[in-house]
Structures are given as structure tokens and as C-alpha cells.
Chains A and B, each alone.
Chain A
Amino acid sequence: DGGITQSPKYLFRKEGQNVTLSCEQNLNHDAMYWYRQDPGQGLRLIYYSQIVNDFQKGDIAEGYSVSREKKESFPLTVTSAQKNPTAFYLCASSPRTGLISNTGELFFGEGSRLTVL
């Protein structure tokens, strides 16, 4: 089945450690996104990528880094510089603009819940 897979689902880390969240999709989508959600809050955009080897900062990119070396993969690293990293992280993808099927709908993974101890 086509979809987006995020791992790990739950992750604990100590302060000062970097951690990388995996996001893989087999939908052949060009665009991929990382969002962060805090309790009672909406989703806030961290980074997005429209094409391989290119990515753009979202609204809250500080303390995060990404790479897009393959179309299928868009890993997110939460660095020690991120002051409050405990949150629910959601990866999403969408087809590239211009395709008839693309109305801007996002397809989400099940999320990764990061807790800093």
C-alpha cells in the first residue's frame, strides 16, 4: 500500500542530544513537509521540500535541520539548539503543483512523539 512511514513512533532523549526522525513515502510525491504540534495547538511548519536536494525553512526552523537526498526520504534532525523539543512531529507529502490531481491536499504519516527528559 502507498503511504508515508514515520519512525520511531515514540522517542526519548536526554537534553543536549541530537535526534533524527525518519520520514519515507512511496507515493511518488515531490513535496514533503515537517510540522510540529504542541498540546492544544495547531500544526506549525518547520521545513518543506519541493524537490530533491532543495528545501526551505518554515515558520519555526531554528534548532532543526533536514536533508532531501532522495525523493522518498525527508529526515528531520532535532538538534541540541532546539530549546523546547518535546512535541508531536508530523511528516506529510503532496503531489507537485500543476498536476490535475493536486489540490494541495496533504498526506500524513502517523507522527513521532519526542520527549526530552
Chain B
Amino acid sequence: RKEVEQDPGPFNVPEGATVAFNCTYSNSASQSFFWYRQDCRKEPKLLMSVYSSGNEDGRFTAQLNRASQYISLLIRDSKLSDSATYLCVVSDASGGSYIPTFGRGTSLIVHP
């Protein structure tokens, strides 16, 4: 059974802090990796894709380690508006379509 594991948290940090989330996946053949953000009672929205070379988008940095089968998300200079649940998503190609598997999510609370 393909699994994606995340620490559920919550991570409770002050504004301005740096926080890191990790996610491990069980299927070594997985092809695409993402971090989604989900606000309370809303649909998930794509935060960023994760590439083997690592990628950065402003205060957010994502890394992929295929050998160890984990991905990470680093948030620098946390803002109150970063409070949300962060979902790790791993996609496997099957018969011409990607089948995404979601982790349970990591809850982040940023306080003043």
C-alpha cells in the first residue's frame, strides 16, 4: 500500500520564525511531488511543486531526496497568514494518469 507520512503537529511558532516540515513516501517509483496548503474548511491549493534540484519561491523552499524518499518544506520569516495545514502530495503514474496520494497534513500555527 502506497503511503505518505507527515508529522501532524501542530507546529506552534512565533512570527518571524523558520519552520521545517518533512514528509516520507513509500513508493520509490513515485514521479511527482507537491506541497499543498489547506485553510480551515476550504479546498487544498497548490503551494509549490518539488523538484529534484530543490526549488524556492520567496520565503518557501522545497527539497526532494529520492534516495531517502522524503520531501521537505522550509518556511522562513513566518507570517500570521501562513497558519494553515500543509499537505504533502506524491503522484504515481498509472495507465496514463497521475494518481495523487495525500499525507494527513501538518498543522502550522503562527502567533504574534
Contacts and interface: CB of A to CB of B under 8 A. Distances in A.
A pairs with B: yes
Interface residues of A, number: 28
Interface stretch (B11-19, B41-49, B64-72): B41-49
Interface residues of B, number: 27
A83 to B, nearest CB: 21
A50 interface: yes
Interface in B66-106: 87, 89, 91, 93, 95-105
Contacts of A43: 44, 87, 102
B44 A96 contact: no
Interface of B: 4, 8, 31-32, 34, 41-46, 49, 87, 89, 91, 93, 95-105
16 contacts: A42-B103, A90-B44, A96-B96, A97-B96, A97-B97, A97-B98, A98-B96, A102-B98, A103-B32, A103-B49, A104-B34, A104-B98, A105-B34, A106-B46, A106-B89, A111-B42
